[in-house]
């Protein structure tokens, strides 16, 4: 049975002016080689002739993003609403005719609806659902690894970012998964490098 994460309905058009879209996300129980959760998703249109537009199990958000958070929804939708001209043409080579029709017809309006729902007029995130609601709790050893790792982060701004109220608990949870298991991120210096990589988007 699929572990359902989110079901979100977007209405980018006024009533009677266009379709609504439903995004469903679930946990596949799989992880990537760099320990990211693999999330399945389906985006459907309320118009029967359009039906399911995207259906796959290949989304793996960054480790600091809770898999059931608004941040995860927004991140996934930013890819699903890409249009020709937004990125290289090669990106759309595997699109089906239905997906290309969506990209050319509805992606812009839906992308604006997503942005308006989760960000204010200045592009700053609005109050979101609890990030980390589905993350497992941290252990004492994981918390200690995180604290010791901060001592090895040279950038003051990255230390403050990692230790902020929003990110501190998430990194402790991640550290709890690596502590004592070996590998490059299980030591204070290694996890410090992991924190720095996440800060710069690697």
Nearest Cα to 168, choosing from 155, 149, 186? 149
Other C-beta atoms within 10 Å of 162: how many? 23
Beta strands in the chain (DSSP E): 3-10, 21-31, 37-45, 52-59
Q: What is the pTM of this model?
A: 0.64
Is residue 202 scored above 50 in pLDDT? Answer: no
How confident is the model at residue 134, as a pLDDT?
Answer: 47
Strand partners, 54: 43
> Contact, 92 vs 45, CB < 8 A?
no
pLDDT in tens, 126-160: 766 544 444 445 677 878 888 899 999 888 888 88
Residue 33 structure tokens: 């080689």
Is residue 79 scored above 60 in pLDDT? Answer: yes
Starting at the earlier edge strand, list the strands of the sheet with 3-10: 3-10, 21-31, 37-45, 52-59
> Contact, 57 vs 76, CB < 8 A?
no
The residue assigned the tokens 């793996």 is 60
To 5 degrees, how large is the angle CA 91–CA 97–CA 98?
100
How confident is the model at residue 109, as a pLDDT?
Answer: 96
Task: Decide: residue 185, CB within 10 A, 0-12 exposed, 13-18 middle, 19+ buried.
Answer: buried
pLDDT in tens, 47-67: 998 999 999 999 998 777 788
String of DSSP letters for 129-141: S-TTTTSPPP-HH
Higher pLDDT, 142 or 76: 76
Confidence of residue 94 (pLDDT cuts 50, 70, 90): very high
How confident is the model at residue 191, as a pLDDT?
Answer: 86
Is residue 1 scored above 80 in pLDDT? Answer: no
d(CA 146, CA 123): 31
pLDDT in tens, 103-122: 999 999 999 999 999 887 77
């Amino acid at each position: 049975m699929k572990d359902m994460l989110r079901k979100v309905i977007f209405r980018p058009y006024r009533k009677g002016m266009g379709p609504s879209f439903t995004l469903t996300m679930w946990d596949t129980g799989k992880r990537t080689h760099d320990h990211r959760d693999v999330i399945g998703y389906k985006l459907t249109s309320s118009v029967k002739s359009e039906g399911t537009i995207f259906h796959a199990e290949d989304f793996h958000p960054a480790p600091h993003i809770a898999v059931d958070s608004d941040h995860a929804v927004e991140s996934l939708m930013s890819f699903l609403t890409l249009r020709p001209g937004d990125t290289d043409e090669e990106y759309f080579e595997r699109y089906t005719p239905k997906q290309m029709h969506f990209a050319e017809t509805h992606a812009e309006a839906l992308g604006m609806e997503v942005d308006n729902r989760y960000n204010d007029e200045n592009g700053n995130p609005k109050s979101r659902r609890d990030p980390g609601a589905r993350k497992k709790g941290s252990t004492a050893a994981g918390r200690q690894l995180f604290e010791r790792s901060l001592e090895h982060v040279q950038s003051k701004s990255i230390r403050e970012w990692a230790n902020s109220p929003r990110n501190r608990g998430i990194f402790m949870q991640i550290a709890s998964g690596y502590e004592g298991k070996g590998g490059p991120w299980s030591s204070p210096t290694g996890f410090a490098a992991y924190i720095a990589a996440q800060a710069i988007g690697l």
